[in-house]
Amino acid sequence: MTWMDNQLRADLQNGFIDSSLPAGSLGPEILTNRQGNTIFSEIKNELRTCTSFKMAVAFITPAVLVPIKSIMMDLAQKGIGGELLTGTYLQFNAPKVFAELMKIPNLTVRLTKETGFHQKGYWFDHQDYETLIIGSANLTMDALLKNAEWCLKVNSKHQGAVVQQFAADFGDQWQAAVQLTAGWLTAYRKDWQAPVLRPALQTTRSALITPNAMQKAACERIETLRQAGEKRALVISATGTGKTYLAAFAVQSAKPNRVLVVAHREQLLLKARASFQKIIGGQDQDYGFFTSQQKPGTARYVFATVQTLARHLDQIGPADFDYVIIDEVHHAGAASYQKIINWLQPRFLLGLTATPDRTDDFNVYALFNYQLAYEIRLQEALSERMLCPFQFVGVSDYVWQGRTVSEKTPLKHLLQPERVDWIIKVAEYYGHDGDVLHGLIFCSRTKEAQELAALLTQRGYPAQALTGQDSAARREQAVARLQAGELVYLITVDVFNEGIDIPCVNQVLMLRDTQSAIVFLQQLGRGLRKAPGKQFLTVIDFIGNYQHNYLIPQALTDDHSHQRSRAIQTLSTEPTLGISTISFTRLAYERILTSVEKAQLTGMSLLKSEFNQLKQRLGRAPLMADFQRAGILDESIFAEKFKIYPRFLQKMGETVRLKPQTESVLQFLTEELANGKRQHELILLAALTKQSTITVADFSEQLRQNGCWVDDATLASVKRVLTLEYYLTKGKIGSRIRYGNQPLIIVTGQQIQLHPQIQRYLADAEFRLFWNDAIETGRLQASKYDQKKPLTLNQRYTRMDAVKLLNNAHYMVPNGIGGYYFMGETGILFVTYHHPHARATVDFNNQFRSRTQLSFYSKTNRTLASRDAEKLLNPSASLHLFVKNSDEQDQSQFVYLGPCQVMPGSAHEFLQKGTNKPIFGVELLLKHPVDQSLYLTWQNEGLVHQFNQADS
């Protein structure tokens, strides 16, 4: 009986007989779309790792095919294909679906003749076993990502009855079905009628427009500020989320006497007036325009452009309007805006923008007295379905004579016929929503845009380039032609980054280096506005060997942590945002990964940019805790790069007056406690800052009130840490000398006192500020961790963290811990998943067998009779497993995978190749299956990688 047989037997016993029995990752499970795990991710994972597949589904929508095409493109490179059985039940499947399916060369599609075909089954062959997913989920975005669905996933050997029954029934239906061909599609398109959905029950003659949840919250916050006496407020709302409606709802709540709405283009005024009248109502004479040809008279709601107002300010009084709204207010640093704002004296000024964080020096937050009423970010708007969902695909740019496009590629190579053909081929393959293509292309150079437009037009794709030199009238004419279908592409460098509203856009092509996350999101946002009949936006990023590729995962997930591990996890797991998806072809993935690994994510220029943006928001130099609240720059950056936060402030050009002798105390707080991995010490220091003395009993009670675990060993560990007894007496790492030999507390019996020297330091206001900031930062960080346990599943720890949190009596340097370390019967095991620089003599496979089983090997020159083996094989041993991907990606941080145990009878001994020295191995069984996203990251999307024991 093979290992796979034993694994399946154990998994089936756990799944169908007794859940308390040990199991791996091949057991039966119910798939749902809850708790971040989706049916979509399971199907993607199975597709990526299979050798063939079969699907039988009744309903399919075009949007779901975009990310699936990305996987199919990679599978085609490996010679892998599959079969899809579907039909025309209820005529749900539009002709567009079948047209898109025919574009996938390694997918054979047949159409059943059966009436009432309503099946949903997915089968995947993995050579030594098969996976079957059967349930309620069709091949639609809602079913795979959002709806309440149940699907049963089972794994079986080829001889299993269930998979044989599926194969037989699928085979019978397949043989009776007809092939999807162009001729069949032509006939179907001729006869097809879109299914008629039952209209919602009408309770009023006309639909009443009401604010969505986020607009309602924003309006309530605006009104709260206004009634509190604030004169100004700023709202940040992603493009396409209904800023004009939000403003109208805010006016409706405030009921002002007279309102002025200012926009930067006349075209927007017409739409703004219509939106306001829809929300507020009233007669036509209540609404007026202030233009060069038209004056508003006594209209209550007046709409004007910046240009007109700036020229004719003398025609209105400063107090004529008691409520003023300025759209796209991030332009307010311009002279025309400043002239208007300085002249008007409304009771309340509301500013609206999608991009407040500018690359210029103007501070829009200061203009509004730092009163940020509300913020609707792109990710939130997508989750709330305020925007059109997008399907993002990162693909490889064209490789010409072994060279890939980069920032330095000459223009003539960018316009090679082969590259243009590649762009067309990829754009056609991934397609677009609807029957008519309305595309935007962003490229790197004006000349490229102009010549590419000509080349695409020659190939039957009418295109027009627009540059900054084109007049507003020419741009609007080009947009009208795109909307009318006369053009299929508008091509530009940055003309459409903001302020242009083209709801019909259903495909965006990015043919340039991503040099700014802000610009990336602006360009992505051009196609996210909803439009009648528009179901999704296709976004295709052609990824070359660009230096700034690392910004792509950061921009897509709005990640400002500057942590390499997060960017890599985004790449590997391809997270979803609502029903929007992110996909990368294999080669594109590798290019971005290379960029992420090389990028200086904590370089001074990047840190200074984040610092300045947050400083603009707050109106002061931010503290370390401010960064944590904003989700920007993880605390570890300050600890590792600067040792103390004041030093970072000095690098940013801020003045800090800190006494040198106090710096070692702040370094201790920053390096040892501010990560929040155990907040017991922080709670104690916070209490002692207020009252200087506390009893052990009162401290224990405070820990319980804060939801922390309390036991004698942990209390003793906290005392040793804060008295510095835990640390070494000499050396650079982990020594008391590093922290100035300055204890923070004195323990006398059952009394704990703040050290008198620390009390004296706290008399200095500057020191007290940074002392409290470090404690607050740690308390904020602690929210990531389960405070009822020493270690939190799936969180990251260093070797030294693990030793301390498990209450070791003294500090251990990393080299003294190595791949494993025992504290009595408690063992901590550390595995580096991928070790590219391992010695050739390392010939064993230290790898996951499944999400619950890992092959683990000892250090060199260890036998089963060694002390190491005795400790590891001790039935009473309490083992904890930590894994990281590689030293390059994760540095010293390991992910805690929870408790584990040695599989009985798995210990074996052998001689190491090359050295001929003994080594032993065991199989570890994990109590908790490895998180799917982590597992994918480490497995590098299903490819088998070799494990190498850290410090073996």
Residue 944 has a pLDDT of 32
Residue 741 host element (H or E): none
The distance from CA 588 to its chain's CA centroid, rounded to whole angstroms, is 18
Question: Across the beta sheet with 29-31, what order do the strands follow?
Answer: 29-31, 151-156, 130-135, 120-125, 52-57, 82-86, 107-111, 178-179
Which tokens sit at 224?
Answer: 């709260």
759-785 core/surface letters (b: 16 or more CB in 10 A; e: else): eebbeeeebeebbbbbbbbbbbbbeeb
Residue 409 has a pLDDT of 87
Residue 20 has a pLDDT of 82
Residue 203 pLDDT > 50: no
Residue identified by tokens 């704002």 is 341
311-331 core/surface letters (b: 16 or more CB in 10 A; e: else): eeeeebeeebbebbbbbbbbb
Residue 360 has a pLDDT of 66
Residue 371 sits at the vertex; the CA angle it makes with 370 and 377, to the nearest 5 degrees, is 100
Residue 151 has a pLDDT of 97
The helix-helix angle for 680-691 and 765-781 (nearest 10°) equals: 150
Residue 394 pLDDT > 90: yes
On whether the CB atoms of residues 487 and 464 are closer than 8 A, the answer is yes
β-pairing verdict for 848-850 and 853-857? antiparallel
Residue 389 has a pLDDT of 95
Residue identified by tokens 């990336």 is 520
Residue 844 has a pLDDT of 54
Q: Please write the tens of the pLDDT for every residue from 25-38.
A: 788 999 999 877 89
On whether the CB atoms of residues 527 and 539 are closer than 8 A, the answer is yes
Residue 950 has a pLDDT of 30
Burial level of 58, CB count in 10 A (0-12/13-18/19+)?
buried
Residue 772 has a pLDDT of 98
Nearest to 771 by CA among 685, 882, 849: 685
On whether the CB atoms of residues 683 and 703 are closer than 8 A, the answer is yes
Which tokens sit at 466?
Answer: 């627009």
| Ramachandran sector of residue 368 (left: φ over 0; alpha: ψ -120 to 50; beta: rest) | alpha
Q: What is the largest CA-CA distance in the chain?
A: 97
Residue 473 pLDDT > 60: yes
pLDDT band at 101 (very low <50, low <70, confident <90, very high): very high
Nearest to 137 by CA among 57, 54, 46: 57
β-pairing verdict for 878-884 and 826-832? parallel
Hey, is 709 helix, strand or coil?
Answer: coil
On whether the CB atoms of residues 592 and 600 are closer than 8 A, the answer is no
Residue 205 has a pLDDT of 39
Q: How many CB atoms lie within 10 A of CB 930?
A: 25
d(CA 465, CA 446) in angstroms, rounded, equals: 8
Which tokens sit at 275?
Answer: 């939106």
Q: Please write the tens of the pLDDT for every residue from 566-601.
A: 888 888 888 898 899 999 999 999 999 899 988 888
- CB-based contacts of 198, cutoff 8 Å, min separation 6: none
Q: How far apart are the first and last CA of the chain?
A: 32
Cα 239 to Cα 174, 368, 635, 729: the distances in Å are 47, 20, 31, 58
Residue 1 pLDDT > 70: no
Residue 945 has a pLDDT of 31
Average model confidence (pLDDT) across the chain? 91
Residue 223 has a pLDDT of 97
Which tokens sit at 118?
Answer: 């309503």
Hey, is 287 helix, strand or coil?
Answer: strand
Residue 941 pLDDT > 60: no
Q: Hey, which residues does 910 pair with through a beta bridge?
A: 919
Q: Hey, which residues does 440 pair with through a beta bridge?
A: 490, 508
CA torsion sign for 283, 285, 288, 294 is positive
Least confident of 203-217, 442-456, 831-845: 831-845
Residue 110 pLDDT > 80: yes
Residue, of 949 and 901, whose pLDDT is higher: 901
On whether the CB atoms of residues 819 and 831 are closer than 8 A, the answer is yes
Let me know how many helices (H) and strands (E) the chain has, helices first.
37, 36
Residue identified by tokens 């109590």 is 927
The distance from CA 641 to its chain's CA centroid, rounded to whole angstroms, is 25
pLDDT band at 951 (very low <50, low <70, confident <90, very high): very low
Q: Please write the tens of the pLDDT for every residue from 767-781.
A: 999 999 999 999 999
Residue, of 698 and 891, whose pLDDT is higher: 698
Q: How many CB atoms lie within 10 A of CB 881?
A: 25
β-pairing verdict for 908-911 and 894-902? unpaired
Hey, is 749 helix, strand or coil?
Answer: coil
On whether the CB atoms of residues 240 and 380 are closer than 8 A, the answer is no
- CB-based contacts of 616, cutoff 8 Å, min separation 6: 357, 363, 364, 365, 366
Nearest to 210 by CA among 202, 221, 219, 201: 219
Q: Hey, which residues does 400 pair with through a beta bridge?
A: 403
Residue 838 has a pLDDT of 55
All structural domains of the chain, each given as residue ranges with its CATH number in brackets, are 23-191 (3.30.870.10), 213-376 (3.40.50.300), 383-598 (3.40.50.300), 604-784 (no CATH), 796-939 (2.30.280)
Q: Report the C-alpha dihedral over residues 616, 620, 623, 625, rounded to 10 degrees.
A: -60
Q: Please write the tens of the pLDDT for every residue from 670-729.
A: 999 999 999 999 999 999 999 999 999 999 999 999 999 999 999 999 999 999 999 999
Residue 201 pLDDT > 60: no
Q: Please write the tens of the pLDDT for every residue from 834-876.
A: 766 555 444 456 788 888 889 999 998 999 999 999 999 999 9
The residue type of 542 is F
Residue 845 has a pLDDT of 61
Q: What are phi and psi of 452, to 5 degrees?
A: -65, -40
Q: Within 13 Å and on the Cβ side, how many CA atoms surround 327? A: 28
Q: What are phi and psi of 52, to 5 degrees?
A: -170, 165
Q: Please write the tens of the pLDDT for every residue from 613-666.
A: 999 999 999 999 999 999 999 999 999 999 999 999 999 999 999 999 999 999
Q: What are phi and psi of 612, to 5 degrees?
A: -65, -40
d(CA 753, CA 756) in angstroms, rounded, equals: 8
Q: What is the 3-state secondary structure (H, E, C) of 854-868?
A: EEEECCCCCCCCCHH
d(CA 538, CA 423) in angstroms, rounded, equals: 14
Cα 751 to Cα 311, 466, 721, 745: the distances in Å are 74, 75, 16, 10
Q: Hey, which residues does 259 pair with through a beta bridge?
A: 301, 323
Residue, of 783 and 939, whose pLDDT is higher: 783
Q: What are phi and psi of 84, to 5 degrees?
A: -130, 125
Q: How many CB atoms lie within 10 A of CB 405?
A: 24
On whether the CB atoms of residues 894 and 817 are closer than 8 A, the answer is no
Q: Within 13 Å and on the Cβ side, how many CA atoms surround 771? A: 24
On whether the CB atoms of residues 107 and 54 are closer than 8 A, the answer is no
Helix, strand, coil abundance in the chain, percent, nearest 5? 40, 20, 40
d(CA 65, CA 711) in angstroms, rounded, equals: 54
Residue 506 pLDDT > 80: yes
d(CA 388, CA 849) in angstroms, rounded, equals: 41
d(CA 487, CA 461) in angstroms, rounded, equals: 8
pTM comes to: 0.89
